[in-house]
Chains A and B, each alone.
Chain A
Amino acid sequence: MLSVLQKTTRSVQAVRGVHQSASQVLKHRPQEETVTASFGRFINEVKPQHLSPVVLQRSKRMVLDSIGVGLIGSTTDVFELALQHCQHMYAADYISSVYGRSGVRLSPTLAAFVNGVATHSMDFDDTWHPATHPSGAVLPAVLALSDMMPASRKPSGLDFLLAFNVGIEIQGRLMRFSNEACNIPKRFHPPTVVGPMGSAAACARLLSLDPSQCSHALAIAASLAGAPMANAATQSKPLHIGNASRLGLEAALLASRGLEASPLVLDAVAGVAGFNAFYEDYVPQSLDTPNDGHAFLLEEQDMGFKRFPAHLGMHWVADAAASVHKLLVGVGPGKFWSDQVQDILLRVPRSKYINRPFPESEHEARHSFQFNACSALLDGEVTVQSFTPWAMSRPELHALLDRVRLEHPHDNPANFNQMYGEVQVTLVGGDILKGRCDTFYGHWRNPLTSESLRKKFRSNAELVLPSEKIERLIEVVEKLEKFEDCNDLLSQLH
């Protein structure tokens, strides 16, 4: 294993040092290959040695965080509903494990579904740029499929990570086919568009499908993609991730049985929409073969990890509000100073679905600038507990919510790479207190330390797992590429 890693390091360095000429690239890619075919071929041909140490490291952080978020998500109402539905409608099928439920196993696609729902149930999972939640669509499918494989043919830790990374990579590549997609979305919820494609790609890789089957898997998944943004901030939003995971796995399984779909689904064909049905400014690009020194997007673009369970945009405004809170605690105890607040001005990007003055449910609260700013003003931070009915119903919180105004400055675009959050509190006496956050802790420009990531994982996992399993999971994920099979991972999740 060590030798593989050294080889990987060398190959990446070699690629970086030498600029690839166009002729070299063309040598490996058949002329006039369609975009769709290039994706199928990439999924088929990519090998573990194409994963650089940076990509390995970053993807293992995603795996750990996604498992933790899924474990705490297995305590939510919406997860319970999804699990009950699966157990009620289907016979017991003791194949794939469910986060935090030691006695329960489900058919693989159903396990991918409920674990995907768990991952996004609190909106606590990772966010990438351009905006999507990449891991929740992929990891549950890869876990469920690994559970499905016979004991003698379990994927190695490295194969597992390769499949996971393929699922992430395909999502990243597809997100770059549209400039619109760089911004916070307005029409389709991105994980429902690129998520099933990522899941299908990861599963196709793990099943070692041939290049044509891999592109058929993507094309089948495209017919299962797309859900409207309007279901954000409802219980149906977590289902988006669960379905992405489940349906991508299903697309790969159907492709493995020989089912065929459009060979041009990713190519822009006028008059017959393929994947461009989901975008207004779609410009597809072929994927180079991995042999051409393909660098994974994760190498260049790290992941955002959330510190509390809410929409990513909330993290800027919560950090800005927390800094104002520090100034306010000098004024007096919480109850006292909240009476002194005359006006709260939030300068945030314009995005309708996260502008909710008076959220009525936890799901709406997770998508409310106003709620998150006021919670942080009041408590100095936003935590898992901020979204409990008790915390949400506090009169002093509502007193603050009544005083919130929003402004959308022109220099504050609805884009996770450029936005900021500013909180300006005017006190009854006329004093003005300001806080601003350009990059919150956890953003890709200011990543969580390993220690913070582990701390988040422990606090999430401890609700459902004993501490030995938690520590063992941390250890396994951190060395995952060294494991001969992924059983050590699969056996610790419940």
Chain B
Amino acid sequence: MISENGEPDSPQPDAARSVSASAMFCAPLCAAAGGSVEVPLTGSLLMKPGLTMCVCARPYRASGLSWGITESFGAGIHALRSSQLTDVVINRSKRMMLDTLGVGLLGTRTDVFQKALRYSQLFTSEYRSSIWGRSEITLPPYYAAFVNGIAVHSMDFDDTWHPATHPSGAVLPALLALAETLPSRPSGLDLLLAFNVGIEVQGRLMRFSKEAYNIPERFHPPSVVGVMGSAAASAKLLGLSPSQCSHALAIAASSAGAPLANAATQTKPLHIGNAARRGLEAAQLAAMGLEGNQAILDMNRGLGVYYNDYSPSAMPDCATNAFKWILEDQDVAFKRIPAHLAMHWLVDAALSARAKLQETIFDLSQIQRVTLRVPPSKYINCPLPTTEHQARHSFQFNACSALMDNRVTVASFDQDQINRPALKELLSKVEIETPADNQPSFDNMYCEVQIETAQGESCTARCNTFYGHWRKPLSQEDLVEKFSLNASSVLSAEGVEGVIDVVGNIEKVSECSVLGSYLRMNSNAHQQVYGMRTI
């Protein structure tokens, strides 16, 4: 029934009629809660203890003539094996995990994290999951995934992929929260595989739309693909059947989508927290037998509602060794400053321009005009930011901070830094230009900074690829250095070293819960030096 333009609700072909009567009973019975075990037989039959076998799947599956896109994802999530993880994928995904943990640990010091945590402490559970950097608190897995996800994105310091989304923050908090509650005690390799499944699904979905390659305008991508990635990863760790994996994706799709207007507010970090927790919940509901539309990825009024040019394609056969992870070909970007990714080009260009000018005599008060040549993107064009969240999404602020301080760091976004009169003075001299050749895509964009002085001097610097971008990846030393700086704001030295060690050897760790024990090793005295360091 998914034959016509991927719209399964069109009137069914004659073949469908012959089974409709017998199939009619199936859905309510298959939906029965709890205790039932699905045994997939040749992908088309479901058998339940105590029930007669019934044709529950759609007829086209039995024929094997057509392979639905959603179904291919369900099958893929189920089938992917840890032996398929290549060295490149293992290495890259471990870097993502380490960076995400560091960013999340630092994020536990933010205001938005505190608010979300206080709210989440209304809830308790027999299942307890750790809060990163908080030895004294546990929460139900759903809320642990929520607050840890918020921590990861609270400063916009987490990784960015191409096409544009923040892939790790939606997945890792859900998996760690879930892993702690599973009686099966997943290994480090189980965790790594599930993490990669969550990343892979996001990468595949991002490629269903050409628009999605650009910096977004409508929905915040992690709120769309993130929740799907979390559902896929959680389904993998729970060991769900292929059909349950598809249902998890379908249920998660009903929890997707947050408008971009909440970028540059405290609510943006919630998008990642929500993606993590709601994907986790979707997988848990699917595990209990809840059902959604088995063609959710196939349809324009399925996941397609979030895109204007939705064009889905099936997951390649994951059971063969020919399968290739997207992460193998497309690495992620790691941020050096806690701000929107585009700011990194700008800061690097501004620092070069400043250096050039300094060869003569650099005097801030002599600057007459600063011109920023950037890609068009409204939500990161913020001339006079007043909050830290706006500052993280402001070309103007990041350029001026770099010019004034000769660096942009975690501390640059403190309120007293934002409020500096000299900075505001400099902001008033900034002009934005959006040249036609500067595309709003993290793969093509550049930033140019031109400084003109009262004396008529002018110098221009340009950044095509900042250090940390996937074309110019952070060295392992710098990545570990970033983690250590971030994590030591919350964890003891033993905790910091422990996390580096466990993540570095995650594929050999017999129980991934050991990670949680290091993540709870708080330091007593918070060190403030972290904020002023640059990488």
What residues of chain A have their CB less than 8 Å away from a CB belonging to chain B?
77-78, 80-81, 84-85, 89-91, 93, 107, 186-189, 192, 219-220, 222-231, 233-236, 239-240, 243, 250, 253-254, 257-262, 264-265, 269-278, 352-353, 355-364, 389, 392-393, 395, 398, 402
Q: A352-B9, A361-B26 are in contact. Are A259 and B261 (CB under 8 A)?
A: no
Q: A78-B290, A224-B258, A225-B257 are in contact. Are A393 and B21 (CB under 8 A)?
A: yes
Number of interface residues of B (CB under 8 A): 80
Contacts of B140 in A (CB 8 A): 89-91
Taking the closest CB of chain B, its distance from the CB of A85, in whole angstroms, is 6
Q: How far is the CA of A143 from the CA of B64 in the complex (A)?
A: 50
9 contacts between A and B (CB under 8 A): A91-B125, A223-B270, A230-B295, A236-B250, A259-B112, A264-B261, A265-B261, A272-B378, A353-B9
A223, B258: Cβ atoms under 8 Å? yes
B263, A231: Cβ atoms under 8 Å? no
A220, B267: Cβ atoms under 8 Å? yes
Q: How far is the CA of A34 from the CA of B218 in the complex (A)?
A: 20
B26, A360: Cβ atoms under 8 Å? yes
Contacts of B300 in A (CB 8 A): 187
Residues 119-158 of chain B: 1 if any A CB is under 8 Å from the residue's CB, otherwise 0? 1001111110000000000001110000000000000000
Contact of B255 among A189, A227, A362 (CB under 8 A): A227
Q: Which residue of chain A lies nearest to B376 when distances are taken between CB atoms in the complex? A: A271
Q: How far is the CA of A402 from the CA of B296 in the complex (A)?
A: 28
Contacts of A188 in B (CB 8 A): 305
Contacts of A93 in B (CB 8 A): 123-124
Contacts of A234 in B (CB 8 A): 250, 291-293
B254, A231: Cβ atoms under 8 Å? yes
Contact of B378 among A107, A219, A271 (CB under 8 A): A271
Q: How far is the CA of A318 from the CA of B10 in the complex (A)?
A: 22
Q: Give 4 A-B pairs besides A77-B31, A223-B223, A227-B257 with Cβ atoms closer than 8 angstroms.
A: A107-B122, A273-B218, A277-B218, A361-B31
Taking the closest CB of chain A, its distance from the CB of B249, in whole angstroms, is 11
Contacts of B281 in A (CB 8 A): 85
B68: Cβ under 8 A from any A Cβ: no
A358, B31: Cβ atoms under 8 Å? no
A357, B12: Cβ atoms under 8 Å? yes
Residue of B250, B255, B259 contacting most chain A CB atoms (<10 Å): B259
A262, B17: Cβ atoms under 8 Å? no
Q: How far is the CA of A222 from the CA of B270 in the complex (A)?
A: 12
Contacts of B31 in A (CB 8 A): 77-78, 81, 235, 361
B267, A259: Cβ atoms under 8 Å? yes
A230, B296: Cβ atoms under 8 Å? yes
Taking the closest CB of chain A, its distance from the CB of B7, in whole angstroms, is 7
Q: Which residue of chain A lies nearest to B380 when distances are taken between CB atoms in the complex? A: A272
Contacts of B32 in A (CB 8 A): 77
Residue of B219, B262, B295, B299 contacting most chain A CB atoms (<10 Å): B262
Contacts of B21 in A (CB 8 A): 393, 395, 398
Q: Which residue of chain B lies nearest to A390 when distances are taken between CB atoms in the complex? A: B25
Contacts of A80 in B (CB 8 A): 33
B20: Cβ under 8 A from any A Cβ: yes
Q: How far is the CA of A187 from the CA of B7 in the complex (A)?
A: 13
A228, B119: Cβ atoms under 8 Å? no
Q: How far is the CA of A389 from the CA of B115 in the complex (A)?
A: 48
B261, A272: Cβ atoms under 8 Å? yes
A89, B284: Cβ atoms under 8 Å? yes
Q: A229-B301, A271-B217, A360-B27 are in contact. Are A254 and B261 (CB under 8 A)?
A: no
Question: What 7 A-B pairs are tightest by C-beta distance, nearest first?
Answer: A361-B27, A271-B378, A274-B261, A230-B302, A227-B254, A223-B258, A358-B20
Residue of A227, A230, A240, A274 contacting most chain B CB atoms (<10 Å): A230
Contact of A259 among B28, B115, B141 (CB under 8 A): B115
B312: Cβ under 8 A from any A Cβ: no
Q: How far is the CA of A393 from the CA of B20 in the complex (A)?
A: 10
A224, B274: Cβ atoms under 8 Å? yes
B523: Cβ under 8 A from any A Cβ: no
Complex interface residues of chain B between 347 and 388 (CB less than 8 A to chain A)? 376-379
